[in-house]
Amino acid sequence: MRDGYSQFTQRSVEILAVGPNDSVTFKRYWNKENIPYVGLADPDHKVAGNYKQEVNLFRLGRMPLVCVVDRQGRIRYAHYGRSMSDIPDNATLLQVIDELTASSN
């Protein structure tokens, strides 16, 4: 997502990344990696829980979840990763976004 960030901002689409780390760790990582999009610390995992992010004990951790939310605040796409690297590519997300834009959602 990071390399194609400008493709999202060109479409006035913001990326919010929610993670289980505390705010200090989050800040340090974001600065170190110079990540351009919004990073949100969710240390008590409350938001992750509301979105049903899956935790796989065998794979030792949280599984990735990526959603696209439309202008009205409705979820239009949700991908629950089956592995740590099972994350939708930018083209998939941009296609969903372009379809929303075309239908004025």
Partner 1 sequence: MTKPGLIHPGEFAPDFTLKDTHDREVRLSDYRGRPLVLAFLRGFT
Residues of this chain that interact with partner 1 (CB under 8 A) are 1, 8, 11-21, 23, 25-27, 29-31, 38-42, 46-48, 50-53, 61-78, 80, 84, 87, 93, 97, 100-101, 105
**Based on CB atoms, which residue is closest to partner 1, 27 or 91?**
27
Nearest approach in angstroms of CB 34 to partner 1 is: 11
**CA dist list (Å): 65 to 42, 82, 103:** 14, 9, 25
Residue with token string 């990073």: 39
**Based on CB atoms, which residue is closest to partner 1, 6 or 18?**
18
DSSP 8-class letter at 25: H
Nearest approach in angstroms of CB 19 to partner 1 is: 4
Q: Contact 78/88 with Cβ under 8 angstroms?
A: no
Positive or negative torsion for Cα 44, 47, 49, 97 = negative
Nearest approach in angstroms of CB 87 to partner 1 is: 8
Residue with token string 């939310």: 69
